[in-house]
Structure 1
Amino acid sequence: MSSELFDSYESEYSALAAAIRQRLDTTLPELVGVERKSALHETERELTEVHELVEQMGMELLTLQGPMRSRAAPRVRQYKAEVERLKREVRKAAQGMGNYESNRRALLGNTAGAGRLASHDLSAEESSLDGDHRTRLLSGNERLMNGSQRLQESHRVAMETEAVGASILNDLRSQREQIVNTRDTLMQADAHIDRSQRTLRTMTRRLLTNKMITTGLIVIGASLVLLILYIKLTR
């Protein structure tokens, strides 16, 4: 989602920056008077939007991961530098406009016609400035609301991730306890098996001993019987 939003800001920035560049290079040099003022105001408004877009891209850059952030960071720095160049060019164009107005008023003098023209231009300029100011305020407010919503969404995702992590830790802890219990049970079973083996070996030795004793007694008894028979037969 953050990558798509970054790409959207980048596309909007590219379009506005291209429009500003075209106006500075081709349109403004051919305009004079009120038309030039209006074009300058429009350029300044778009330049403000471009600056805000770059700031938004900078915020979105913080949410990108690994390689995506590495690829996007140089572009954001380049856009910031380009915005500064555009600002300087717009200020230069505005200064040129101021010099033009000063020269025009000097040529026209203080005639009534010049006064009415200046008053008309001033009113038009103030009206344009008010409209541009309202537009910038509305645009800035909308961007702030969007940024706040994204922050809230990021906070919600972080809380959900934390909850999932806590659940996983609990599961791992439970599994560890089960493994420890199983290991203890196996150790106890192994101890029982060892005792059983020792008991079986002891019983086996006793059986062998008893068998040997029994065999010895049988041999002795048979020998005595044979001896008695021999004695009786030899008399």
Structure 2
Amino acid sequence: MNGAPTALFDSYEQDFHQFILTIGKKLDGDQSHERGEERKATLRRVDMELDEADEMVSQMEIETQGIPQSIRGTYHTRLRTAKAELARYKALLKEQRAAGARAELLVGSSATAGGYAPSDDPYGNGGDRARLLVGTARLEDGTRRLEESRRLALETEDQGADILMNLRTQREQIEHARSTLQTADSSIDRATGTLKKMIRQMYKQRVVTAGIIFVLVLLIGLIVWSKVT
């Protein structure tokens, strides 16, 4: 297994691009042959694949925190590109779902206008058009709300990433300060040991000096005693 700090990021990015390639074929390609439930099933599969791709982006964001500062900027750019691509396909999926829902409403309205309206509703055609307009307005309102939620989620993710980066920087500073304190503590221990040696040496010198003085006094006393006697 590659032990490089960017190996996992590269692996998640490769998986992300595989998901995006599959999603692009289903959303950007010509899907005119799909109708009704078949198209709905395709869009459900795309939704699940987008969730997987979103998970890959989350893992990539986590891995950027362990990448060295000297090259982290490049990987942040790649991460932002992946997020933008993911957001584009999420928006495209919403648009295609809304378009499918509108098409179903139009088909239902056409069938009613073709003679399938209840006989006891003299305003059947007008009622269907009103329901169609209300449904379309609700879909557009729901789409706007989803877009706003997505925008807030992206902003929250960016803020979370910035907070994680700040916390990592602070942790590095704390670790550096702790290392400095440990070095200072070692220096203080060495200085204390040196001072203790100097004090012991001083006491030894005092004992030697006192011994010499005692011997001299004794010799002087002996000399004086010998002269007197």
- TM-score, with structure 2 as normaliser: 0.50
Higher RCO (CA 8 Å, separation ≥ 6 residues): 1
Q: TM-score scaled to structure 1, two decimals? A: 0.48
Larger radius of gyration: 1
Name the structure where helix makes up a greater proportion of residues.
1
